[in-house]
Chains A and B, each alone.
Chain A
Amino acid sequence: MKRKWMLLIVAVLLVLAACSSAEDNATTEEGAAGNPVTIAGTNGEVKLDAPAKKVVVLEWTYAEDLLAVGVQPAGMADIADYGNYVNIEPQLDETVVDVGGRQEPNLEAIAAIEPDLIIGVSFRHDAMLAELETIAPTVIFNPYPEDENIDLYQEMETTFKEIAKAVDKTAEAEQVLADLEKEYDESASAIEAANLKTKDVILTLAYTGPQAPEIRVFTPNSMASIILERIGLNNVHQPDQFEVFGSSTFNVEGLVKYENANYLYTVPDEDNIYENQLKGNPVWENLAFVKEDRTYDLGADTWLYGGPLSAKTLMDQITTVMVNK
């Protein structure tokens, strides 16, 4: 009797599971305008029958890439927080649908949008790739390649071009990058003209760790650092080891060896370690760049990790603060 029940349950479940294999992927949309495109992500080549019109982005950087070529994403993850960290033009449209958190985006919400393409980032979305692919073709990018020979600026450009290709905006993307190059040159001459005491810099992002500040110092292979170099500044931070994320974590002691450089920083308004914890600390106050007033605040919402628009914001901010101070 009891065993019969058990068997029954198992049988029912087995039948249910068997049904699943019958249900195959939805057939891809046909008859859409445009030529087929192929995009290369870390999950291999992704073929689209036509350039994507409705794109769901699960990571901020890639939303920015879309915005740069004038395309609004159809859906996006963590919209509320995006506004706190990323300050770029054009802004995200009101109509963009929130599809949940970046870490565990809501699959049903994504599917409800019926996107032509989903863009994810490898360190979050590799695990759910199979599920995402049942909704729409999915491309995954890795902003932090393990390969030491690829700097993060190159990676940004490559990904940006791939995303632009996916929405048929290759020409626009080339234009954005070309404009950027021109602006680097302009910034470089502005900085040249500013007659800085030194062009050595370090660039940092700080936040409160366990009751004490933690300071990320960007390494030469990071996107932000390469922008510095393009406008004629010199990043003096040389890490002891390859930092795959493009920054080393320091506390205030670690800054000592770079005190002769200029100190470029961004820090959240609500967690300003320079106003709070470090104020009055003799080590901080006696660093040469603090004593000689060579610290430059880039603003709380200058995103150091994004795409070409963030790159432009960063460049503008650096140029403005360094020339005007």
Chain B
Amino acid sequence: MPGKLKQKSFVSLTGGFFLLLALSVIHLTQGQADYTISELLTGVWTEGRIQDIVTSLRLPRLVIGMIAGGALAVSGAVLQTLTNNPLASPGTLGINAGAFFFVVISTIFFPGALGDFPFITALLGAVLSSALVVGLAGKAMEPVRVALTGMIISLLFSSLTGALQLLFENETNGLFLWGSGTLVQLNWEGVQFAAPVVLMLFIGALLLAKPMDILSLGEDIASSLGQNVQAVKLIAWGVAIILSAAVVSVVGPIGFIGLMAPHIVRMMGIRGHLQVFIHSFLWGSVMLIGADVLGRLIQPGQEVPVGAMTALVGGPWLLYLAWKTAKSLKRGDRQVGGTTKPIRLSVLTPILIAIIAVVMILALSFNGAAWNFAWLEPVVWNFRVPRVLTSFIVGVMLAITGVILQGVLRNPLADASVLGVTSMAGAGAMLLLVIFPAIPAVYLPLGATLGAALALGTILVTAWKNNFQPMLVALMGIAISAFGSAATQVFVVKAKLAVASALVWLSGSTYAKGWDDVQFALLLFALFIWPAIYITRSLDTLTFGDDVAAGLGLDIRSTRVWALVIGVAISTAAVSIVGTIGFIGLVAPHIARRLVGFRHLPLMLSSGLIGGLLLVAADFIGRILIAPKDIPSGLIVALIGTPYLLYLLRKMK
């Protein structure tokens, strides 16, 4: 080892070790039974209450935190080399979400059968989701694409999980906090299970260090040096996946440690996989224990999910990483695609309207049990008609947002939810609820607007210098999104019971929309449709690429800013009416583009119609499926939307 590296390694190891020691001491003093450090120090050696508490509650929690943090960090380090992607980690690749989804399934359908640590089911989920991500992201393993695919897989699994938790409320009651990761332990069982698994795999990772050093020189060089590249990669994937699955099965999905720890280690100048793995383990432990200490400082005596704490810190970190990664990317002039043989609007529009009419008639006439064609009857007229109409208008608005955002960012995966606007809107609303617990739900949109504006502001500020490079903006969005949902989780814990209605609102609900909502939606629609139409011409010019567009006399920067502002304004308007419904803005423009090509005015018209159609259909399905109960339409949309996205990704080779 060269002298300089040795020195850095020494600093990192001793620094990390002392930090871990200090955090551990604080960690051990935290708990509902109020003991001072000196009481703990004197009491722990003799049999009795303090010893019991320390050895059966606090120590296991500390140890599982160290093991989990270390395991996630090493898993992240392995994945980052494997995918040659600075943004890879068990969280961003969807492995955590997949593992957790399978755990939820096994809890509901095979309760008790799998023991306390559903390791096998978690592993199945982890394998499935990583296979999906690798399969869909393509051989090139382009960082952004991999990250986006991972995020979509995560979305898919978490919306499925959400739907299951809603339908099987009683069976999954205890999973809510755990779903965000928690270190609470009652005994040593978790440690006894995780420690040997993690230790074995950690040794495996250390043994892999050398081959991975060679691998990172490039696959060609590695195989010319006589390495069995496929075998090394396969084993490395296995190590990374099993590590994170083991962690999920004990403490739930915890994100961002796997992303941050290896980076911090590399930033300190540590090189070589052997060193990186060892240091990552240490720093992963430091970070997770630190997050747990912080969580209990924020809300003493209450459990704030530690996964939310890591995301709260990790979101901005990812923002920074994304910014750094994107700087090294080439200017991403990516075609959004679209058919070259567009269907004429005069043909398409009547067809779409006919389909909408059929679905609307269906939605207006059926309540899940009986048909009723008397739409003017008060029951139907007061409740069903406005609900269907609101869904339609909001669907149109969401789709238009998608057209604008995808056009301006020239990014086929752009959408209010991908940009983090939706998630921050949710966080803003929850923050309002935390500050003013008694606030009526009608004021929640105020907070939502604030949150969305903050998200947009962040994107504007961070992307300004790069002239809104599409890749960069998409990555920023992921980071902001993660931060927003973590903040939401923390607020949920802070606001306690008042949350019930907010949670439904957050998941997106077209429930109980009356004529006031129809009028409000129409008003907003009428207000925003003109700037949206106006901007289409500039968006058309932008499709030729920045240089050509500038040559044609378009002020690219101000166009970008205005288009972003309009897009976010419309999506916030939609959120203020129905809460956070994602995916419509993503899916509708894609379908439309394959029908009418890439010119923005026809695109906006047809995707608007398709978006309206989608939300009316989702609302209808949610209303009748388990009638007289109700499934929030946001969940239905997600369940329809994610498989379509996966299909889309597959096609976008």
Contacts and interface: CB of A to CB of B under 8 A. Distances in A.
Interface stretch (B179-187, B208-216, B537-545): B179-187
B512 A128 contact: yes
Given A100-B628, A257-B33, A211 B511 contact: no
A254 to B, nearest CB: 4
Interface residues of A, number: 67
A132 to B, nearest CB: 9
Contact of B379 (A16, A112, A128, A208): A112
B551 interface: no
Interface string B503-532: 011000101101110110010011001000
A104 B182 contact: no
B174 A208 contact: yes
B224 interface: no
A20 B511 contact: no
Interface in A104-154: 104-109, 111-112, 123-124, 126-128, 130-131, 134-135, 144, 146
B389 interface: yes
A213 B57 CA distance: 12
A34 interface: no
Interface in B385-441: 386, 389, 393, 437-438, 440-441
Nearest to A142: B438
A98 B632 CA distance: 19
A280 B381 CA distance: 60
Interface residues of B, number: 75
B57 A252 contact: yes
Given A16-B389, A17-B518, A111-B383, A104 B509 contact: yes
Contacts of A98: 628
A103 B367 CA distance: 19
A31 interface: no
Contacts of B49: 256, 283, 286
A212 interface: yes
Given A127-B442, A127-B501, A210-B184, A108 B519 contact: no
B629 A106 contact: yes
A30 interface: no
Contacts of B498: 123
Contacts of A158: none
Interface in B32-55: 32-33, 49, 52-53, 55
Given A106-B630, A127-B442, A6 B605 contact: yes
Nearest to A100: B628
A275 interface: no
A317 to B, nearest CB: 23
A130 B511 CA distance: 13
A150 to B, nearest CB: 15
Contacts of A26: 378
Contact of A111 (B182, B379, B505): B379
A123 B497 contact: yes
A249 to B, nearest CB: 7
A324 interface: no
Interface string B286-302: 00000000000000011
Nearest to B173: A207
Nearest to A283: B52
A106 B380 CA distance: 12
A108 B383 contact: yes
A17 B515 contact: yes
A28 interface: no
Contacts of B605: 2, 5-6
B440 A280 contact: no
B33 A253 contact: yes
Given A2-B601, A134-B382, A278-B186, A283 B53 contact: yes
A101 interface: yes
A20 B379 contact: no
A104 B442 CA distance: 16
Closest 5 CB pairs of A and B: A20-B515, A254-B32, A210-B178, A127-B441, A100-B628
5 contacts: A17-B515, A17-B519, A127-B441, A212-B186, A278-B186
Interface of B: 31-33, 49, 52-53, 55-57, 116, 170, 173-178, 182, 184-187, 190, 252, 301-303, 305, 345-346, 349, 367, 378-384, 386, 389, 393, 437-438, 440-442, 496-498, 500-501, 504-505, 509, 511-512, 514-516, 518-519, 522, 525-526, 529, 533, 601-602, 605, 627-630, 632
